[in-house]
Amino acid sequence: MPVIEKTTAKQKFMEFLTKKNLRVTSQRQAIIDTAFGTDEHFTADQLLEWSRDRDKSVSRATVYRTLPLLTESGLVREMDFGKNYKFYDPNYAEHPNHNHIICQDCEKIVEFESEKIAKLEDEISHRLGFSMKTQRLQITGNCEELKKLGACKKKSC
Amino acid sequence: MPVIEKTTAKQKFMEFLTKKNLRVTSQRQAIIDTAFGTDEHFTADQLLEWSRDRDKSVSRATVYRTLPLLTESGLVREMDFGKNYKFYDPNYAEHPNHNHIICQDCEKIVEFESEKIAKLEDEISHRLGFSMKTQRLQITGNCEELKKLGACKKKSC
DNA sequence: ATCAATGCAAATAATTTGCAAAAAG
DNA sequence: CTTTTTGCAAATTATTTGCATTGAT
């Protein structure tokens, strides 16, 4: 994905901080650079580790205190894939209606968008008396390699 | 919903236990009766409390050891609504493709099914190289009462 | 009898928080 | 300077687990 978009997400978050009279500390800088410097979903623990590569002084507490700000800004989305820890998705601002399909075995995650599904969701919500705000759709399945071989090699299918 | 279906779900689980050479203890009985005696989603904590109304000897450990059996049997589904604890849905066997819409404010949950969405999910999965196994779709929104009044009364909208 | 299942209490593990010191504005 | 933010370590909370005992088959 083009770097320009990521720069924008970072800038948007800076504006979000300023608007809320929150300070741009070096630790927050490192965390923001990390979060918006990847396309991947990450965990709090990974965000800490990678942020520390940029700034040794980043602590676990600060990561956990920054994550709610990231999600509150709407630029990062908290995801639950049934683990006992959460994942965070930094591609949310650009693709607010994207969905996930996860291989049951190798845990490969693919993102996709569907206009048709989004439209149906909106219709159904109205019919049930709700106005839709957000949606999350997760499909689990087996990827092709798994189907052919009976089991897929972790990290490779 | 008709009582007959619930009896069936309970019986299916008993068969599941027997097939796996697992024993039908009085504690498991109480937990099973509770789980399949409600239409509501419940938490581990609620399952413990309600099961204890039937059998004082049910312990928290046994509830936590029984829940994986319930989900493994396919009769109960683990749900994540973004809280730090999980919900369990006992209506899964009868409606394996049902979805949830949750009011952001009062946390009212409505279930629904959609053939069209299910079909689209299956198509997209194939196109992406997966064979679909399960899906979960959660929509969050505001319910009518909220829209009209600006805020909905908890438990009542 | 045998071996799975239980309750209890201690252990985990992710996340949260109180507080005194450090740093942004 | 003032107020926010930080790191640290202790606290919290849902869930898991070791172990001696109980109970289903």
Mutate to test the interface with B, among A112, A138, A139, A148 (most CBs of B within 10 A): A139
**pLDDT at B114 > cutoff 50:** yes
**pLDDT at B27 > cutoff 50:** yes
Domain extent at residue A140 = 99-149
CATH of the domain at B110: 3.30.1490.190
Residues B77 and B128 in one domain: no
Sign, CA dihedral B141-A81-B60-B75, equals positive
Residues B109 and B40 in one domain: no
Q: Taking the CB of residue A109, how many other CB atoms lie within 10 A of it?
A: 16
**pLDDT at B141 > cutoff 70:** yes
Residues A82 and A105 in one domain: no
Asked if residue A114 belongs to a domain, the reply is yes
C-beta atoms of B117 and A112 within 8 A: no
How does residue B102 score in pLDDT terms, banded at 50, 70 and 90?
confident
Q: Quick one: pLDDT at residue A155?
A: 41
Asked if residue B137 belongs to a domain, the reply is yes
Asked if residue A8 belongs to a domain, the reply is yes
Asked if residue B36 belongs to a domain, the reply is yes
Asked if residue B21 belongs to a domain, the reply is yes
Q: Quick one: pLDDT at residue B149?
A: 64
C-beta atoms of A121 and B137 within 8 A: yes
Describe the strand order of the beta sheet including B42-43 as a list of residue ranges: B42-43, B87-89, B77-79
**pLDDT at A154 > cutoff 50:** no
Distance of CA B34 to the CA centre of its chain: 13
SS3 A156: coil
Residues B81 and B7 in one domain: yes
Which residue of chain B comes nearest to A135, CA vs CA? B139
Q: Quick one: pLDDT at residue B152?
A: 56
Residues A11 and A84 in one domain: yes
Residues B20 and B53 in one domain: yes
Q: Quick one: pLDDT at residue A109?
A: 83
Strand A99-103 with A130-143, pairing: parallel
Provide the domain count of chain A: 2
**B134, B139, B135: which is closest to B101 by C-alpha?**
B139
Tokens at B80, concatenated: 């994540």
Q: Which candidate from A82, A112, A139 shows the least CB-CB separation from B78?
A: A82
Lowest mean pLDDT among A68-72, A109-113, A115-119, B100-104: B100-104
Residues A81 and A29 in one domain: yes
The shortest C-alpha distance from A126 to chain B (Å) reads 9
Q: Does residue B74 come out as left (phi exceeding 0), alpha (psi in the -120 to 50 range) or beta?
A: left
SS3 A12: helix
Q: Quick one: pLDDT at residue B6?
A: 52
Q: What is the pTM of this model?
A: 0.84
Q: What is the dihedral of CA B149, A72, A88, A115, to 10 degrees?
A: 50
Q: Does residue A43 come out as left (phi exceeding 0), alpha (psi in the -120 to 50 range) or beta?
A: beta
Angstrom distances, CA of residue B109 to CA of B32, B49, B87, B88: 23, 21, 12, 13
Highest mean pLDDT among A131-145, B57-71, B131-145: B57-71
Task: Decide: CB of A22 under 7 A of nucleic strand D.
Answer: yes
Asked if residue B154 belongs to a domain, the reply is no
Q: Mean of the per-residue pLDDT values for chain B?
A: 88
**pLDDT at A6 > cutoff 80:** no
Asked if residue A157 belongs to a domain, the reply is no
**pLDDT at B36 > cutoff 50:** yes
Asked if residue B27 belongs to a domain, the reply is yes
Phi and psi torsions of A91, nearest 5°: -95, 15
Q: What is the largest CA-CA distance in chain A?
A: 55
